[in-house]
Structure 1
Amino acid sequence: MIPIYTVDAFTSQAYSGNPAAVCILQSFPEEDTWLQSIAAEMNLSETAFLCATEKRGSYKLRWFTKQAEVELCGHATLASAHVLWETGAAYGLDKLHFHTLSGVLTARRLQDSIELNFPAEPPEPSSAPELLKQALGVEPVAVSRNRFDYIVEVASEQQVRELKPDFQLLKELPARGVLVTSRSDDPAYDITARCFFSPIGIDEDPVTGSAYCALAPYWRTKLGKSGMTAIQLSARTGVVKLQTVEDRVRIEGKAVIVIKGLLMH
């Protein structure tokens, strides 16, 4: 039987933040069909599959949505690190290394949170497809694009909060998703965001760690600061602390295990 966990990431309270499943394997199967079936069964935005390497504190890590494998995922990486420390699998270690499709990612254990070190994915200015404007129903201040997503800056936090996208139209975009962002009205935060990934089967992701690989460098240029705090304004709100250092983004957050179980098949 194989241990599996559901973890709420980027939150210190259960039933908030972004839930991910974490499945710890002895080895990866030769075919991906079983991995995809488990991800579909868990029915969460991401399921992380972990397998230890010969070097202690080093793991192979893959992420699957309900429909497909993805190249980068923040909240499921945070959830994976949290499980390894909370269960004692990484006892005595302050830093973990994850070998992924996006290279080696690290997680560092802080006093009461975890800091991920991810590659920056800075966007470049882009024209706004008419389909994108129609789907969001709002006039962008600016539109950018990186290899994953469209980044859409809007005029106010209120516009971010009140967005009601047409998800059927969003599915037609040639991108992983759309990150909608603005400056925050609350002095406790610098920026706001909501993240929509209809093209890969996730209409809205609650708190999206990998999105800040684009949003942190984007707002660093605009705000003139390398450290900032973001609040994601989905129904399950979460807070992300960010620091850009050269071509990397440090993403800090907390996590809570809410379910522990065993895969019977």
Structure 2
Amino acid sequence: MFDLLIKGGHVLDPGSGIDGRTDIGVVGGRIAAVGPDLETAGAQRVLEIRGDDRYVVPGLIDIHTHVAHGATTAGVGMGCCDPDEIGVRSGVTTVVDCGSVGVANLGVFPVHVLPRARTRVEVYVNAGSHAHTMPGWADIASLDDIDERAIASCVEHNPGLVAGVKLRLVGDIVGEVGEEVVDRSKKVAQEHGVPLMVHIGDMRAADRPRPDRMGEVTRHLLQALEPGDILTHLCTPNVGGVMDDVDAMLPLLTEARARGVVLDPRSGWATSATRPPASRPSVGCTRTPSAAT
């Protein structure tokens, strides 16, 4: 009857409202039945789940990863993971690569990464053409780095590859023309019908002229984001984070969440609220995120 019968596990499925012990029957790689005491007769394989601390969950989705493995060079660009190391081998069935590469190197995915991965990989192209493949903190050094024609050509010649656009609001250009950087990146995402994910908080901005500009650009961003767009590093203590000026940011953040903007609390070594810069006090994050990553 079933190719696989999973019995006795504590099933957690928020989408179906299931939180308790039940059985799951699988046929042809798809869930065919969910319920207590499913019949074992005819099942090709029965997996008995024993123990109070054993849970059965739907395939997990990690919406913030960097898995352009082989597209970046150690010591030069950002380090990227093998998608299966942080994917299926870790209980995660889908990962989203968040702009590890721009259009100049996006070809690594259909040629090398995707054919080898058992994990499903969704690809967000970086708004900057070379992104994390080159040395330097910023992905975008000038507005010319946001090559709308090249991205359009990439989408045309690689149908189904680009699932979103990623922008990191870091570097000198944010203080110079940050609002235009946001608007151009948002325009690219809109033209191709995909969400825009934006990294906020620049750990090096405090050493640049007019670090207050970072907050101005973040406020502009919060008003520009649309339903389905993603604000990432929600709890960053770095300059340009939503807690720079709580009185000004909080209403905009609340409005953004209410209209369907996804709040991603992802923390990294340069964005974690547990690692505040020495020049700034530690802060706490009080907004409820939309995604757990």
Structure with greater helix percent: 2
Structure with greater strand percent: 1
TM-score (norm 2): 0.28
Structure showing greater relative contact order (alpha-carbon pairs closer than 8 Å, 6 or more residues apart): 1
TM-score (norm 1): 0.30
